[in-house]
Amino acid sequence: MILLVEDNKKIMDANVRKFVRAGYEIACARTLAEARAFLQQQRPQLIVLDILLPDGNGLQFIEELRQGDAAAVPILLLTGLSESKNITQGLRAGGDDYLTKPYQFDELFARIEALLRRATRVPDTITKGRLTIDLTAAIAKYDGKDLLLAKKEYALLLLFIQHEERSFTAEYLYEKVWGTSMEKDNNALKGAIKRLRAKIEGCGWSIGWNRGEGYIFEQA
């Protein structure tokens, strides 16, 4: 099953016809709300995602997906934003591939086939130094031993690992992991990061702090 997220009816209708003829089983969403509703019920093999949607930005949606149950689902960005900086932002946000409109369906299907092949042969794990994240079981291990992370600690570590060398403000981390505005109290975040730092010490990676930019997951 491939989930197509596209708000342009003409493009969606053309894609549906081509995908069905190519033998793919598909589901359609014209908004991020519809995509979220679908993902609560099913996990697709791949998501083909537009960036500019009526109810939000596809790049922010990718970051949301990479923290949840669909973290390992390949994402192909299919968008009219063709500048180099847009492509870079899309891939750094967590997209697996990027194709600009207009496009040839032969190339689109070739990219989809490549992503699906990669997804079937790569296990649902991420390894950084001596750390291993089991995305299916939602477990983090250090040299093969379960770190016994609390839910928020695991969510923070997964976010850091998926966006290495990227700085995050305390406000952003709190909103992503706790799901609400931090306002003025960041004690919960500070406590979780302090515990996480202690648990991963010596693994080859660390959680640093850049003044004026925020927390960063970097090689120790």
Query: What tokens does 87 get?
Result: 């492509």
Q: What is the CATH number of domain 2-121?
A: 3.40.50.2300
Domain boundaries, the chain: 2-121, 125-219
Q: Does 2-121 match 125-219 in CATH topology? A: no
How confident is the model over 37-54, as a mean pLDDT? 92
Inter-residue contact 44 to 20 (CB < 8 Å): no
Query: What tokens does 94 get?
Result: 């967590």
Give the Cα-Cα-Cα angle 75, 77, 81 (nearest 5 degrees): 160
How confident is the model over 100-124, as a mean pLDDT? 85
φ/ψ bin of 76: left (φ > 0), alpha (ψ from -120 to 50), beta (otherwise): beta
Give pLDDT tens digits for 153-168: 999 999 999 888 888 9
Give pLDDT tens digits for 60-97: 899 888 877 777 889 999 988 878 888 888 888 889 99
The whole-chain average pLDDT of the chain stands at 90
Rg of the chain on CA atoms, in Å = 19
Quote the pTM value.
0.56
CATH architecture of 125-219: Orthogonal Bundle (1.10)
The amino acid at residue 163 is H
Which pLDDT score, from 0 to 100, does residue 123 have?
59
How confident is the model over 171-180, as a mean pLDDT? 89
In sequence order, the β-bridge partners of residue 29 are: 5
Q: Above pLDDT 70, what percent of the chain?
A: 98
Q: What gap in Å lies between CA 2 and CA 44, rounded to an integer?
A: 5
Q: What gap in Å lies between CA 117 and CA 140, rounded to an integer?
A: 26
Which pLDDT score, from 0 to 100, does residue 87 have?
87
What do you get for the CA distance between the two ends of the chain, in Å? 40
